Structure 1
């Protein structure tokens, strides 16, 4: 029987974060995936550069690819430097890829990257979410609910 995954992943150094994702999408399931990187990409990410703000993931022929993520060229990379916006393969379990493919094709969900980070062993990982896009009225509703929860906390803290 496989070992259950922790609810939150062990992140030691967050490199890039997609802050708009939680506002623009209602997030269903979160997966942790490895990223196939070249040497200069790893060095550039360790410097703290990189962006996943406009990126997304897609399932192609049984593999998951991160598209439109920006890892700038390494400053000392000479002729062996990488292409900044190349598609990068994500490493996931076959069962997880099957679930993602089914959700994207049938339910109209999208694969949104949330954070890129280095775990405690020094490996570059990405937090990938199955999400459904929110309409403008859904975003307003979510912000109202969030404000009300914050106000509830204030009221309870002041009275208690």
Structure 2
């Protein structure tokens, strides 16, 4: 929300304008308008893709707009418990230690639940912060309160980083399970 450069909504609007411009160019035979419309649609697609990106460094997510969010501790602890549980299960299986193997299976399962709970928490908070930031910015725009508008932008951007961080983790897991 800091800029409209990576806004999903703005990308949809730009793509629609490009489609109309390209259509008018086709109807009138104006190749320049058609080319400009197609170019605008391409740029809109790139903005849309950029709007849905986040960089992850451990438990930290960062978006192109500058939003930064730290993962819920449940996500980090859950991932750790999954790894430790998987290791115990493997060692227990290798050594024939059924108790260690079963403990590992239990810990891995609990870690998955813990991580999922943290993801749900972060996703809900992220969406809530994005909505709250948008509303706050709109109100601040009406009242002319620049400090409130900047705080609302920060809230939106942090929420977006939190949401995109969950989405990135889920995508990574889906790719790992599909491989």
- How would you bin the TM-score normalised by the shorter chain? under 0.3
The structure with higher relative contact order (CA 8 Å, sep 6+) is 1
> Which structure has more strand as a fraction of its residues?
1
Q: Looking at CA atoms only, which structure, 1 or 2, has the larger radius of gyration?
A: 2
* TM-score with structure 2 setting the length: 0.21
> Which structure has more helix as a fraction of its residues?
2
